[in-house]
């Protein structure tokens, strides 16, 4: 048995490990753990208190995947509900679909009685307001939100870049692999932007025959490289989990333009071996792991690799200031 999560999953891994030890199915344990992270108001990129989009609205993405059946449930751009991971899980269990977005996702959430709530807190509201007053032209402020958002979207960068999203991978007592993701996505994103968290094959993938993978960082990059599915496929073709992740990093070297720094690939194989690699990561980039035999989950540093990043850095600092 094994449970692996990124640093943002810290508040959920204890419960997830406890449930796995008690014999729970991996997906049940993952859902319980991700819900705790979605409730954790100190995590500004998942669930309630996640940073808003350009219009000052929080849009949540989440997914789950069952590695035994290869069934998935994914939700994109969900507004007004506290636990997108549970909506994704119910989608997997109840609908003949794999992905719901926006209004349709909200309709389904209401239909199943998912818990509704205000996703913004005072800190998010005032950060967005500071950005609006400082960055939006007087003319656009007058007609807001009926303005062309494109120019703002290019400058808007997640204020907590590299500390985004939560991802969980589990290997349960039955040998089943599963994955779960949840995020508010890129802070100040263009409304409707989906990252990789709800895109199965990019931000996550689980196949109990081979392995599972989930990614954090700018989802644009893992969507372009098809990273999570690629890692599992490389394992299917005979690579070890370390080799599979290294090959997926090589795939990323071909991506020209975009925000590559801090994309982090988390992967496990069916035997419980694991690899976590952060592109241009910082020494503080950690992941959390619990394995059978460990008294409690522990944090470990991610393996760091370098890829040249040609995105301008300047505005990222400005967004961080608005978020103080």
Tell me which of 157, 218, 225, 248 binds ligand GLY, using CB under 6 A: 218
Given a contact cutoff of 8 angstroms between Cβ atoms, the answer to whether 198 and 180 are in contact is no
Least distance between ligand GLY and beta carbon 258 (Å): 11
Of residues 194, 175, 164, the one with CA closest to residue 264: 164
Phi, psi for residue 8 in degrees, rounded to 5: -65, -15
Least Å from the CB of residue 183 to ligand GLY: 5
165 is catalytic: yes
Interhelix angle 102-111/84-94, rounded to 10 degrees, is: 80
198 binds ligand GLY (CB under 6 A): no
What character string, x for contact with ligand GLY (CB under 6 A) and - otherwise, covers 175-194? Answer: --------x-xx--------
User: Of 28-36, 87-95, 196-204, 240-248, which part binds ligand GLY (CB under 6 A)?
Assistant: 196-204
Under rule CB under 6 A, residue 302 binds ligand GLY: no
Binding window for ligand GLY (CB under 6 A); candidates: 18-26, 87-95, 114-122, 215-223: 215-223
Q: Cα separation of 60 and 78, whole Å?
A: 5
How many CA atoms lie less than 13 Å away from 245 in the CB half-sphere?
25
Per-residue x/- track, 157-176, ligand GLY (CB under 6 A): -------xx-----------
In the set 16, 72, 165, 277, the catalytic residue is 165
Shortest Å distance, C-beta 278 to ligand GLY: 13
Residue 195 is a binding residue for ligand GLY (CB under 6 A): yes
Based on the number of CB atoms within 10 Å of its own CB, is 55 exposed (0-12), middle (13-18) or buried (19 or more)? Answer: middle
* Interaction between residue 7 and ligand GLY (CB under 6 A): no
Nearer to ligand GLY, 81 or 186 (CB): 186
Q: How many angstroms separate the first and last alpha carbons of the chain? A: 40
176 vs 222, beta carbon nearer ligand GLY: 222
SS3 sequence of 49-93: CCCCCCCCCCCEEEEEEECCCCEEEEEEEECCECCHHHHHHHHHH
Rounded CA separation 265/276 (Å): 6
Cis before residue 145, ω within 30 degrees of 0?
A: yes
With respect to ligand GLY, which residue has the nearer C-beta, 214 or 239? 214
Residue whose CB is less far from ligand GLY, 229 or 270: 229
Active site residues: 165
Report the interface residues with ligand GLY, using CB under 6 A.
164-165, 183, 185-186, 195-197, 203, 216-219
């Amino acid at each position: 048995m094994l449970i692996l999560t990124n640093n943002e999953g810290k508040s959920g891994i204890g419960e997830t490990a406890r449930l796995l030890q008690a014999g729970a199915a991996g997906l049940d344990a993952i859902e319980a753990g991700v819900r705790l992270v979605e409730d954790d108001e100190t995590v500004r990129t998942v669930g309630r208190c996640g940073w808003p989009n350009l219009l000052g609205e929080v849009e949540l993405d989440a997914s789950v995947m069952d590695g035994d059946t290869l069934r998935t449930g994914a939700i994109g751009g969900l507004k007004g509900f506290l636990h997108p991971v549970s909506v994704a899980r119910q989608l997997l269990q109840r609908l003949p679909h794999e992905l719901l977005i926006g209004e349709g996702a909200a309709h389904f959430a209401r239909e199943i009685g998912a818990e509704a709530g205000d996703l913004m807190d005072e800190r998010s509201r005032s950060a967005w307001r500071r950005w609006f007053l400082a960055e939006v032209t007087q003319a656009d402020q007058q007609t807001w939100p009926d303005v062309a958002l494109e120019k703002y979207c290019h400058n808007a960068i997640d204020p907590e870049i590299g500390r985004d999203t939560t991802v969980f991978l589990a290997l349960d007592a039955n040998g089943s692999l599963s994955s779960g993701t949840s995020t508010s996505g890129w802070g100040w994103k263009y409304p409707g932007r989906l990252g990789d968290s709800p895109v199965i094959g990019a931000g996550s993938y689980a196949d109990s025959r081979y392995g599972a993978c989930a990614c954090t960082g700018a989802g644009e990059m893992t969507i372009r490289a098809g990273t999570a599915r690629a890692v599992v496929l490389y394992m299917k073709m005979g690579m070890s989990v370390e080799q599979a992740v290294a090959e997926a990093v090589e795939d990323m070297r071909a991506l020209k333009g975009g925000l590559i720094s801090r994309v982090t690939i988390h992967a496990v194989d069916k035997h419980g071996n694991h690899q976590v690699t952060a592109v241009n990561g910082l020494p503080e980039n950690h992941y959390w792991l619990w394995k059978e035999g460990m008294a409690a989950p522990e944090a470990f540093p991610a393996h760091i690799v370098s890829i040249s990043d040609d995105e301008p850095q300047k505005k990222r600092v400005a967004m961080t200031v608005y978020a103080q």
